Structure 1
Amino acid sequence: MSAAKIARRGSPPATPASGGDDHVGALPDALLHHILSFLPAQQVVRTCVLARRWLDLWKSSSGLRVVGADGKEPVRFEDVRVFVDNLLLLRGCSPLETLELTFSGGSIDMLRVRLWIRHAMLCKVRVLLLKISGAPTWFQQGEPALVSEHLTRLVLRGIVFNDDDFLDFSRCPSLQDLNLMICSFENTRRISSKSLKHLVIMGASFSSRTRIDAPNLECLQLQVHWGRIPVLEKMPSLVLAIVNVDSSCLDTCSRANYGDCGDESCRGCIQDGSSSVLLQGLSETQALVLTATTRMYVIRRDLKRCPTFRQLKTLVLNEYWCVPDIHPLKCILEHSPVLEALCLLLFSQ
């Protein structure tokens, strides 16, 4: 399919104003490529009908954003499936800075999406965003890991991971920024990357005790919406950590302070050894925001073997730490020798 045919799909293309010089068209190619990278891909392709110079300019745009017409909302996968196939075919392997795919609907062909992502890897993409709204979309078991020397930022939204193969980023040595939004981790044992500097996991569900292994992490934002709290491995370079655990988390028990109520059938209590879940991994941070429900025994259990927060200068806690008793607050303060600022968010819910 030609670029002109792709351009005719959807609304009519814009035409240049009559009279006067084409000042925009006189700009250098590199600047035009940068400008085009901010537009939805459907609009970028339509520029091929503006003038002869624009005929192939879209093929070298540094960014492809497959989104809704307003540039923000998701687009139905079925409405753009053929368009994206032809777009990537005609574009070839021109270098690509950013690929954004924002879809809605429950019938998304993930095999095809993975082919698009592989094509982007061949184009040395540096920033990859895959955001899905609506019904959860599964990455099937055995989904191969990403392989890229150029990828620096990855954003995934609305994905269900069925194992940890895809979440091993050892073959992405330049990856520094990972954002996982409203994702579910089914039978996922580990999320690992040696190169990560910034990790955001928001609205997450963990069916099992996943381990997060990112030894060079500098900034962590973790919100567990449901399931088991993940184990944090050592993070010696950590500067800021923001951790919130919702009340729907399974690591709760109204009858236990330290993770063992004595009922063998209790799903809330820890059954898997005595290692630290959260605090040991957070012990090297300089600033910490840590909020949880009062029924969350995991942190109280970690406090029985509380590490020393040798670099912690700023600490923000909620009422969990002093209700119904002040022991958790007293304990963490005793193990924070250089603390300069403490903020208590009392009755924050």
Structure 2
Amino acid sequence: MPAGKAPKRARQEGPESGGDRIGALPDEILRHVLSFLPAQQAVQTCVLARRWRHLWKSATGLRIVGADGEAPVPFKKKAREFVDSLLLLRGSSPLETFELRVAGSAVDVRRVRLWVRYAVEFKVQVLRLSFLGNTYARMRPEDPPLTSKYLTKLELCGVAFNGDFLDLSRCPALQDLEIEGCSFVVAGRISSQSLKRLRITRPVFNRSSRTRIHAPNLTMLHLQVSYGKTPVLEGMPLLISALVAILGKSDCCSRSNYGDCGDESCENCMPNDTSPVLLHGLSQAKNLVLGAKDDTYIFRRDLKCCPTFTRLKSLLLNETCCVPDIQVLARILEHSPVLEELYLILIYKMQMQELNVIMKGRFSPKELPPIISAHLKSVVVRCGAVDERVIQVLKFLSELNISFSFTEEKLKAEG
């Protein structure tokens, strides 16, 4: 039977005759459908009919996940032997996606590397690895970087990286990288010339040194820093949108607003670290969201040598970027010559997690001072209640000839 065609009987008893509708589909579509099933279920289709006996072997994707398609598989002997046999029997059909979602107190990283090597050998384009046990899947120092000419998307969860794995120069087609709940403690650098979109959530960075991110062709960045030193963003001239949230406490010092208290024993300051951390890499973004917890000094520190945000059209800041040091907001506005939209989210720990008040700025572009973008069209302030710190921000904006009208609207704050 020619490749890609359904059996003659299946075609005769197609959808219009109420026959086998799935059987009427070409083999190439069935292989694609099988790629969405957990691997255990895909293999079980071999008992449906003679035609299905070997279809699973050429499915375009493999998903080693729980029976419900979402939960992880316990990394036990039975599961390991199943995957070993699966790959052995499957043969050399090309892969589009390979997903491994496992849980366990001790993951055999060497075995996983063999499975990944198989996927890479057969031209996998999307690779997803999730380790959801109580400990990280720790890479060995000698484990080499990932190498693939075909990989376009990589998703990682629960991995403790070694020093070299995130050198992605050997993956020239890679455009999407998502990292969740991973350890960068010994990973000094993320490097990729091809990367377009980068998302890092719930990371653990080193507390005494900064990971560097080198991705000059990045267009989208989503970075949440929950533990350890904020990473250094190197130049990103093509950046369109970025969200950076500093949620941890490592870049905080009660004795210094800028991270240079002078005490060499201070774990939070880095006195000899004077180069830009975030804002230099973000300076070419068109849409920017910045947020931090109280006392985080990293934005204030970078603003000592504030870059010019030459393409910035939309800016959203949380309260830490506005108060108590209003100069953070002032310097960013002074260095954003084409800004069109400004959003300020002012909500504090003592308030309910609801943004009940919306204040919309009223102003004439002709009456704005020269330091403010003549392109400014919208200024919006959201808060839970109008307290002294909100009044401080409104007073500053009124000095720029921006007044406000109030409306009531209940909006749940995220995070």
TM-score (norm 2): 0.77
Deviation of the 1:61 alpha carbon: 0.2
Q: 1:49 aligns with which of 47, 64, 81?
A: 47
Tell me, in whole angstroms, the C-alpha distance in 2 between the residues paired with 1:107 and 1:264.
38
Tell me, in whole angstroms, the C-alpha distance in 2 between the residues paired with 1:260 and 1:23.
70
Tell me, in whole angstroms, the C-alpha distance in 1 between the residues paired with 2:272 and 2:24.
66
Which residue identity lines up with residue 183 of structure 1 in the other structure? C
Aligned residue runs from structure 1 range 182-193, under 5 A: 182-193=181-192
Tell me the equivalent position of 1:131.
130
Tell me, in whole angstroms, the C-alpha distance in 1 between the residues paired with 2:73 and 2:171.
29
For the 8 Å contact 2:290–2:321, the answer to whether it is kept is no
For the 8 Å contact 2:202–2:226, the answer to whether it is kept is yes
Tell me, in whole angstroms, the C-alpha distance in 2 between the residues paired with 1:157 and 1:318.
28
Tell me, in whole angstroms, the C-alpha distance in 2 between the residues paired with 1:192 and 1:70.
35
For the 8 Å contact 1:155–1:178, the answer to whether it is kept is yes
Deviation of the 1:75 alpha carbon: 1.0
Tell me, in whole angstroms, the C-alpha distance in 1 between the residues paired with 2:348 and 2:335.
24
Q: Establish whether residue 118 from structure 1 lines up as the match of residue 145 from structure 2.
A: no
Tell me, in whole angstroms, the C-alpha distance in 2 between the residues paired with 1:99 and 1:154.
10
Tell me the equivalent position of 1:346.
346
Aligned residue runs from structure 1 range 213-252, under 5 A: 213-246=214-247, 248-252=248-252
Aligned residue runs from structure 1 range 57-206, under 5 A: 57-78=55-76, 79-135=78-134, 136-163=136-163, 165-206=164-205
For the 8 Å contact 2:244–2:290, the answer to whether it is kept is yes
Tell me, in whole angstroms, the C-alpha distance in 1 between the residues paired with 2:300 and 2:149.
41
Tell me, in whole angstroms, the C-alpha distance in 2 between the residues paired with 1:319 and 1:290.
10
Which residue identity lines up with residue 263 of structure 1 in the other structure? D
Deviation of the 1:144 alpha carbon: 0.7
Tell me, in whole angstroms, the C-alpha distance in 1 between the residues paired with 2:266 and 2:39.
52
Tell me the equivalent position of 2:377.
none
Which residue identity lines up with residue 279 of structure 1 in the other structure? L
How many percent of aligned residue pairs carry the same amino acid? 58
Deviation of the 1:21 alpha carbon: 4.2
Other structure's SS at 1:300 match: helix
CA distance 1:321–1:184, shift in 2 (3 Å): same
Tell me, in whole angstroms, the C-alpha distance in 2 between the residues paired with 1:56 and 1:271.
64
For the 8 Å contact 2:261–2:271, the answer to whether it is kept is no
For the 8 Å contact 1:36–1:61, the answer to whether it is kept is yes
Q: Establish whether residue 24 from structure 1 lines up as the match of residue 25 from structure 2.
A: no
Point out the more displaced range, 64-73 or 257-266. Answer: 257-266
Question: What does the per-residue CA deviation read over 1:113-154, in whole Å, with 9 as the maximum and x for residues that have no partner?
Answer: 000000001110000000111222211212211111100000
Tell me, in whole angstroms, the C-alpha distance in 2 between the residues paired with 1:292 and 1:321.
7
Q: Establish whether residue 263 from structure 1 lines up as the match of residue 245 from structure 2.
A: no
Other structure's SS at 1:227 match: coil
Tell me the equivalent position of 2:301.
301
Other structure's SS at 2:154 match: strand
Other structure's SS at 2:216 match: coil
Tell me, in whole angstroms, the C-alpha distance in 2 between the residues paired with 1:188 and 1:81.
28
Deviation of the 1:271 alpha carbon: 3.0
Computed over aligned residues only, the root mean square deviation of the Cα atoms, in angstroms, reads 1.2
Q: Establish whether residue 210 from structure 1 lines up as the match of residue 229 from structure 2.
A: no
Other structure's SS at 1:170 match: helix
Other structure's SS at 1:112 match: helix
Deviation of the 1:318 alpha carbon: 0.6
CA distance 1:159–1:348, shift in 2 (3 Å): farther
Other structure's SS at 2:147 match: coil
Which residue identity lines up with residue 162 of structure 1 in the other structure? N
Other structure's SS at 1:175 match: coil
Tell me the equivalent position of 1:17.
none
Deviation of the 1:332 alpha carbon: 0.6
Question: What does the per-residue CA deviation read over 1:185-224, in whole Å, with 9 as the maximum and x for residues that have no partner?
Answer: 1221110000000000000111130000000000000001
Other structure's SS at 2:201 match: strand
Higher relative contact order (CA 8 A, sep 6+): 1
Tell me the equivalent position of 1:4.
none
Which residue identity lines up with residue 60 of structure 2 in the other structure? S
Which residue identity lines up with residue 52 of structure 1 in the other structure? R
Other structure's SS at 1:205 match: coil
Deviation of the 1:162 alpha carbon: 3.0
Other structure's SS at 1:201 match: strand
Which residue identity lines up with residue 109 of structure 1 in the other structure? D
Q: Establish whether residue 35 from structure 1 lines up as the match of residue 17 from structure 2.
A: no
Deviation of the 1:310 alpha carbon: 0.4
Question: What does the per-residue CA deviation read over 1:35-80, in whole Å, with 9 as the maximum and x for residues that have no partner?
Answer: 1111000000011111111111100000100100101111111141
TM-score (norm 1): 0.92
Deviation of the 1:22 alpha carbon: 3.2
Other structure's SS at 1:114 match: helix
Tell me the equivalent position of 2:390.
none
Tell me, in whole angstroms, the C-alpha distance in 2 between the residues paired with 1:48 and 1:194.
43
Tell me, in whole angstroms, the C-alpha distance in 1 between the residues paired with 2:122 and 2:162.
28
Deviation of the 1:260 alpha carbon: 1.1
Aligned residues: 328
For the 8 Å contact 1:251–1:270, the answer to whether it is kept is no
Tell me, in whole angstroms, the C-alpha distance in 1 between the residues paired with 2:46 and 2:105.
33
Tell me, in whole angstroms, the C-alpha distance in 1 between the residues paired with 2:246 and 2:73.
32
Tell me, in whole angstroms, the C-alpha distance in 2 between the residues paired with 1:38 and 1:141.
34
Deviation of the 1:110 alpha carbon: 0.7
Deviation of the 1:348 alpha carbon: 5.4
Deviation of the 1:24 alpha carbon: 1.4
For the 8 Å contact 1:318–1:345, the answer to whether it is kept is yes
Runs of 5+ unmatched residues, structure 2: 1-17, 350-415
